Amino acid sequence: MPSANGVLSVAAIAAQSKTFRLGQRALASVSASFQSCMLALDQYRWSWW
């Protein structure tokens, strides 16, 4: 039977990796929306000239 510390550390590592993946996904979506915003601003600016 594994010790309680080992189980806790495995659970902590799993939680960290899950939150890390969620953070990566959130960061990717934020950067993608930022890029699309910049692209739209660029097109808007060029439409004035």
Q: Write out pLDDT tens, residues 1-48.
A: 567 888 888 888 888 888 889 999 999 999 999 999 999 999 888 876
Backbone phi and psi for residue 3, each to the nearest 5 degrees, phi listed first? -75, 160
pLDDT at res. 46:
81
Q: In this structure, which amino acid lies at residue 43?
A: Q
pLDDT at res. 14:
84
pLDDT at res. 13:
86
Backbone dihedral region for residue 19 (phi beyond 0: left; psi -120 to 50: alpha; all else: beta)? alpha
- pTM value is 0.56
Number of domains the chain contains: 1
The DSSP symbol for 48 reads: T
pLDDT at res. 49:
60
Residue-range definition of the domain harbouring residue 10? 1-49
